[in-house]
Chains A and B, each alone.
Chain A
Amino acid sequence: MIPAKKNHSAFVRTDLLDRVGIYLVGAVLVVIGDFVSDEFLTVTNLLSVLNAVALLGIVATGMAFVTYSGNMADLSMPSIMAFSGIICVSALPLGFTVALTAGILAGLLIGAMNGFIVGRFNANPILWTLAVTFFMEGFMRFAWSNNQVYPDIEPGTAGFKLIGLFRMSIGSVPLVVVVMVLLFIAGHFVIVHTRFGIESKLVGSSKPAARTTGIDVSRVILLDFLVAAFCASIAGIFLTSMNKLGVFYLGKGYDFKAVTAVVIGGMTLRGGRGTMPGVLGGVLVIGLLTNIMTFMGIGAFEQNIVTGGVFIAVVGLHQRQLCRRGKDYA
């Protein structure tokens, strides 16, 4: 019998290769990037890579909880981002702090609904959140008459503060990057050290078994969707700040990119597998890939083709691996 490493919970042990694999890919990309352009390996460029993936990183942190607990993906995250943004801008006359809180609460409301329906009534998470996205888009267009909402940008107003949020830096590091890193650290801590994190893993591995182990499965799933909604609202407010407007289509595309980051970072869609550092690696790899393609002069549409292709390749390889090992049970 091989004893497991001491003082290290069995719930967080993963294969070494699983853990560092994505960072090896990242390292290869860095070497390629260095060949492609001399400007690639500069502090300014690497910071701009971080800045570019920060929003994706925040969304992916939330998405990871949904995937980890065996619910595949929350496709309503873009509409949560847009909704938080619009509510935040609309609430600006009440003050900056109130507006931020309102934006986040609005997002949490949708998350609570998702989590409740999926957790309690066993709805298919993909279909349910897809329906919510459809509904929310219609709702936002109806309620704001298909208009964009603009914050007041006079200096000294709450709107001015909101616009400044995305452009704020701590030292030379943008605030949004700091928030992303903090969220990742918090997410990692939650998954490794809290009962909620470990219960998410057990629920993700087998819902019926989790139930007979005395875990309140509905509650765990509710919390997972709340975490996702929380992260989406924060990203949505940053995105609104960046664009200086709130509108129903903000956040489009973040759902799929976030799932890609989560999956190539080693969290399988069947749940219960993977780590937060892996997801961060996935986010960074996507950032590096995009950055290098931009240096090479590849356009945005072609970049989408590459990102989609990477996703297909990773999921395909993974499925093949499972079939080989004869583990194709759900």
Chain B
Amino acid sequence: MPESDTIGIALKMHGVSKRYQGTLAVDRVDFEAYAGEVHVLMGENGAGKSTLMKILAGSFNDYIGSIVIGQKEVLLHSPAKARECGVGMIYQELSVARPISIAENLLVGRLPYRYGFWLDKKAMYRQSQQLLHKVGLDIDPWKTIGEISQHEAQLVEIARILGVNPCILVMDEPTSALSRREVQCLFARMRQLKNRGITILYISHHLPEVFEIADRITIMRDGRIVATKSIHEVTPPMLVQMMVGKTLEKPVVSPTRKIGEPVLKVKHLTRNGFFSNVSFHACKGEILGIAGLTGAGRTDIARSLCGLAPYDRGTVELEGQRLRRQSYSDAIKHGLMYLSEDRKIDGLFLRLSIKQNLISATLQRNTHCGLYTANHEAQITSDLIEKLGIVASSVSQEVSNLSGGNQQKVLLGKWIAADPRVLILDEPTRGVDVKARVTIHRVVRDLVEEGRTVLLISSDLPELVGLSDRVIVLHNGRLAGEMNKTQLSEESVLLAMNGEVV
């Protein structure tokens, strides 16, 4: 690393601050990045890393402090200005338009014209192929984004940014929607870009990924930079400690629980076009992990199981009783519940209060002859808030104002309040900070301790392997393997997920 070589410094931020109503999101930050390095930014939710990167992308016109890109001091007061200065930003959610072609997406804003009126399709084809080549994609630029995979769409997005020749590329959790293999491809491209002298600033929550790709790493907490280190100087526990600000207790490996008789039996479940002939069972007091790549059918199976989606063949039995097909209320009545994947879209009532959310799933149980009785509402709510450590100013605070971690805790609390026998958790810690993650894991362990059953769907392998007693693996909508605690490792799950024989 060219420690003293000033020419190697691609970006220098000095005393940069940004205030949102009342709170300092970024507080007098000094930050440097070299040309040709992958620089990872880490921190809990709300630590200020996304805000810092948004400043760089020109999202704010009221930040304080100086920014030097290359040798020039610049004022990044608009996205256009930032682009001009060579900053390219890739957001967490893709910003490519699905129904139009790759070529149009790539060249948006600078489409080639003939005689100033006719689109020059040949030039479009040529230029977009050049751009796609830069990210190593060999696909037809006339395909629409809807026809290609998530990871290819991500690469198209990168290619589009590369089209404006950035010297700094900012990526905000680009891998959260990608499967393992796709992440590997993305990393390979990132290394190529790095070797071409481009600086990559990379925001991530994912420790293994960070150690794989980072050259240097900066940890933020409460709007300030805690430390910038070379990747060789740090270990995962050190990083976590710096992010959280105190020593994190080791996750308690619970003594082997007593696992009871099978509670949930799924036989030959098939939904045409989604998954076929899936059979498994889950026992009392067990955490059953469900692994698979994106698109392997994990969420589809979960939704069909609990009746939110139909299935074509097969049976679902809960404690010997067959559940009705496509009736979620029947499943809930029997105690089978589903914590949905995306808390903002179909998990929480964002405009309602914490309390209303927490008791929303108890409605069915507390109704007699159509009348709802509000018994123990206050008790249940305060118990859950304490148990889950939900941080809020009051129980009537709107859920939309909470941080991601607290929202996820409210969602989990909502189902705990409904007293499930079998709870399906779909990505219970996605986009959640380290502390909330630890709390959620503890609460999930408590649930099975009480004799409940948990089905855990997670793309986060350490989580899946660490929590589960047994894991079933799906590949292309079929069961591809089953592993018990002794066989369980990240490597074995990974192999099975990719369709290799275990």
Contacts and interface: CB of A to CB of B under 8 A. Distances in A.
B349 interface: yes
Contacts of B347: 209, 212
Given A195-B370, A212-B340, A215-B329, A10 B350 contact: no
A4 B355 contact: yes
A205 B399 CA distance: 12
B332 interface: yes
5 contacts: A4-B395, A206-B349, A212-B328, A272-B349, A327-B351
A216 interface: yes
B3 to A, nearest CB: 43
Nearest to B358: A10
B338 A212 contact: yes
Interface in B276-335: 308, 328-329, 331-332
A194 B363 CA distance: 10
Interface stretch (B29-37, B149-157, B247-255, B376-384): B376-384
A211 B346 contact: yes
B394 interface: yes
Nearest to B385: A1
A321 B232 CA distance: 51
Given A193-B372, A214-B332, A206 B350 contact: yes
Nearest to B375: A7
A303 B331 CA distance: 54
Contacts of B355: 4, 10
Interface string B341-358: 000011111111101100
A36 B352 CA distance: 43
Contacts of B489: none
A2 B395 contact: yes
Given A209-B348, A212-B347, A1 B353 contact: no
A206 B372 contact: no
B356 A214 contact: no
A214 B400 contact: no
Interface in B351-373: 351-353, 355-356, 359-361, 363-364, 367, 370-372
Interface of B: 308, 328-329, 331-332, 337-338, 340, 345-353, 355-356, 359-361, 363-364, 367, 370-372, 374, 377-378, 381-382, 385, 392-396, 400, 414
A1 B382 contact: yes
A294 interface: no
Nearest to A8: B374
A11 interface: yes
Contacts of B331: 214
A193 B395 contact: no
Interface string A1-34: 1111011111101000000000000000000000
A209 B350 CA distance: 9
A88 interface: no
Nearest to B346: A208
B363 A198 contact: yes
A198 B356 CA distance: 10
B328 A10 contact: no
Nearest to B364: A214
Given A4-B395, A202-B349, A195 B382 contact: no
Given A212-B308, A213-B360, A213-B361, A195 B372 contact: yes
Contact of A206 (B351, B353, B370, B385): B351
A84 to B, nearest CB: 26
B393 to A, nearest CB: 8
A6 B355 CA distance: 13
Contacts of A197: 372
A275 to B, nearest CB: 15
A101 to B, nearest CB: 23
Nearest to B338: A212
A329 B350 contact: yes
A219 to B, nearest CB: 10
Given A198-B363, A205-B351, A212 B374 contact: no
B308 A211 contact: yes
A74 interface: no
The 4 A-B residue pairs with the shortest CB-CB distance in the complex, in nearest-first order? A9-B374, A208-B346, A195-B367, A2-B394
A160 interface: no
B310 to A, nearest CB: 14
A196 interface: yes
Contacts of A272: 349, 351-352
Contact of B378 (A6, A198, A206): A6
Nearest to B21: A326
A205 B400 CA distance: 12
B7 to A, nearest CB: 43
Nearest to B386: A1
A233 to B, nearest CB: 22
A4 B308 contact: no
B308 A199 contact: no
Which of the listed residues A9, A193, A208, A327 has the most CB atoms from chain B within 10 Å of its own CB? A9
Given A206-B348, A206-B349, 12 more contacts: A10-B377, A11-B356, A194-B367, A194-B372, A211-B308, A214-B331, A214-B337, A214-B361, A214-B364, A215-B329, A272-B349, A329-B350
Contacts of A6: 378
A258 B360 CA distance: 30
Contacts of A216: 329
Interface string A163-200: 00000000000000000000000000000011111110
Interface in A91-146: none
A113 to B, nearest CB: 24
A195 B363 contact: yes
Contacts of A205: 349-352
Nearest to A195: B367
Interface in A251-281: 270, 272-273
A4 to B, nearest CB: 6
A10 B353 contact: yes
Contacts of B360: 202, 213
A55 to B, nearest CB: 29
Nearest to A10: B355
Given A3-B395, A208-B346, A9 B377 contact: yes
A327 B349 CA distance: 14
A293 to B, nearest CB: 36
Contacts of B340: 212
Contacts of A210: 349
Contacts of A10: 353, 355-356, 359, 374, 377, 381, 395-396
A209 B348 CA distance: 6
Contacts of B348: 206, 209
